[in-house]
Amino acid sequence: MNKYISGLCIVLLFSCQQEKLIPNEDSEEAIKAVVTGETYAYMKKDYTKWSSFWDHSSDVLRLDVSDTGFSQTRGWYKNGAHLETFFKEHPEPISSTFENSNYLIFYDANLAWVAFDQKWTTESGEESVAKATITLLKKEDAWKIISYTAIQYEAEDDTIDTLGRE
C-alpha cells in the first residue's frame, strides 16, 4: 500500500512542475508584438484595440515617471476608465514616431517580463526617451499586460542606466 501512495506522490510532484520553455525567437517576437501593438493602439487613440492588450483584473498596475510628475494607478477599472476618458477628450492621434530597442526579455509558459528603451521623435524632431518595463501574463493563449512602468529622462543624458544592464 505504501508503494502505491509513494508512487502517487511522485506522479503528483512531477505533474505540478512549472512548464519549462526553451527561449526561442518566435516567443520573443510575439511578446515584442504585444509591446509595440499596445503603443500603436495608444497612438491611434483606439481604445478598443489598446484595451485588448491589457489584463482587465484588479491586479493591473501602471506607473509613469516624467518631468511633469509621478502617476501610479492600480486596477483595470482605474487604468482603463482613465484612458478611455482621455482618448475621448483628446481623440487626435499622436503623430510622433517611436522606436523600441535594447530589449531584455525573460519568460516562461505564463509569465513574461520585458525591459526596453523607448525613443520618441516629434514631427519637429524633438526627442524624448524612456526606460520601460512590462510584465505580461498569458491568459487564454494570449499575452496580456498586467504591469507597465515608464521612466522618462533627458535624451542628452546617456549615463542613465535604470535597468542596470552590463
DSSP code per residue over 50-64 = HHHTB--STT-EEEE
Q: How many CB atoms lie within 10 A of CB 137?
A: 16
* Contacting residues for 101 by C-beta, under 8 A, at least 6 apart: 116, 117, 119
Mean of the per-residue pLDDT values for the chain? Answer: 82
Residue pLDDT, tens place only, 97-147: 999 999 999 999 999 999 999 999 999 999 989 999 999 999 999 999 999
Task: Give 89-111 pLDDT, tens digit per residue.
Answer: 999 999 999 999 999 999 999 99
The confidence band for 14, taking pLDDT boundaries of 50, 70 and 90, is very low
Q: Are 52 and 80 in contact (CB under 8 A)?
A: no
The residues, ordered by sequence, that sit 6+ positions from 39 with a Cβ below 8 Å of its Cβ are: 98, 100, 118
Please tell me the predicted confidence (pLDDT) of residue 3.
Answer: 54
DSSP 86: H
Which residues pair with residue 138 across a beta bridge?
Answer: 143
Q: Please give the pLDDT value at position 13.
A: 42
Reported as a single tens digit per residue, the pLDDT across 66-97 is 667 777 788 888 888 788 999 999 999 999 99
- Confirm if 74 and 148 have CB atoms less than 8 A apart: no
In the chain the domains, ranked by start, together with CATH numbers, are 22-153 (3.10.450.50)
Query: Are the beta carbons of 103 and 72 closer than 8 angstroms?
Result: no
- Residue linked to cell 512531477: 14
